[in-house]
Amino acid sequence: MRVAVIGSNGQLGTDLMKALQDGHDAIGFTHENLEVSDYNSCLKLKEHHPDVIINTAAFHKTDQCEDDLVKTFSVNAIGARNVAMISKEIGAITVLISTDYVFDGDKREPYTEDDATNPINSYGISKLAGELYTRQNPRHYIVRVASLFGKAGASGKGGNFVETMMTKAKNKETVNVINDMWMSPTYTKDAAFIIVQILELKLPFGTYHATNQGYCTWFQFAEEIFKMQGLTPDMRPIVTGQLVTKAKRPQFSALRSLKLPIHGIITREWKEALSAYLTERGAI
């Protein structure tokens, strides 16, 4: 397959480019050479005649999204529209990377592909709008990921949670972490592998949840990060009420897939993925 990856030097984009190296022709687009919210800029995708266009680009600083709605919707919704329109025109498959934040968190157990969306912040609403635009190309995959950690670090967020925790421990800071918000930590290498599998196995078009298995609170995630490295920082569990944030966040946004196992795609547990990440980056 000839695959164009938008946001190719981002956290997930970097691992996608690696996962595609084996047997595919991957063409990477960084923010420097393609602005997803600008239709004319997206036209350069056509020059490469891709069979698939994967859009990882997003404005995803959740709190800042509340303050800059124009940027939020331009990148996350109009950007997705531009990519879907161009893919449809050239007969390519659109892959939109979406988020667990399209859900409200009230279900209190992992969300599947069949669950109704109901985002509670501007980031989530804009990503859901991106999903709706993506469906205008019938040949699409919407792949929802969550709480990513990867070697490249989220450029849009300035690192990732694992790295933030490690820095705090190194600096001997007290680590206050939310213990009443549940999610599915996911290694970008595993998410990238699932996305490539979906394409290679030509799974039915539609929406898929691509996370590591299981879920935990951010506090439990931090505990595991420290435990695996034998670190013992001063840790304090806090509750969401103690934090004032601009954006509301779903209290429970763990995801699980009903569809991938049917096609033989089974992901590993988040603890196993975390251990692989720490090993690969030389931390354990």
In the complex, which residues of this chain contact ligand NAP (CB under 6 A)? Answer: 6-7, 9-13, 30-31, 34-37, 56-60, 75, 79, 97, 99-100, 127, 145-148, 154-157
What is the C-alpha to C-alpha distance for residues 142 and 3, in angstroms, rounded to an integer?
16
**Closest CB 77 distance from ligand NAP, rounded Å:** 12
Q: Which residue has the tokens 């290498």?
A: 189
Select 58 or 278, whichever has its Cβ closest to ligand NAP: 58
* Closest residue by Cα to residue 3 from 26, 19, 31: 26
* Closest residue by Cα to residue 11 from 199, 146, 148: 148
Select 11 or 94, whichever has its Cβ closest to ligand NAP: 11
Cβ atoms within 10 Å of 245's Cβ, excluding its own: 11
* Closest residue by Cα to residue 55 from 121, 20, 10: 10
Select 113 or 172, whichever has its Cβ closest to ligand NAP: 113
**Closest CB 189 distance from ligand NAP, rounded Å:** 12
Q: How many angstroms separate the Cα of 88 from the Cα of each of 71, 83, 253?
A: 24, 8, 31
**Closest CB 112 distance from ligand NAP, rounded Å:** 16
Select 145 or 194, whichever has its Cβ closest to ligand NAP: 145
- 261 membership: H or E segment, kind and range: none
**Closest CB 83 distance from ligand NAP, rounded Å:** 10
Residue 233 burial (CB < 10 Å; 0-12/13-18/19+)? middle
Select 100 or 234, whichever has its Cβ closest to ligand NAP: 100
**Closest CB 144 distance from ligand NAP, rounded Å:** 7
With CB atoms as reference, the residue minimizing the distance to ligand NAP is 10
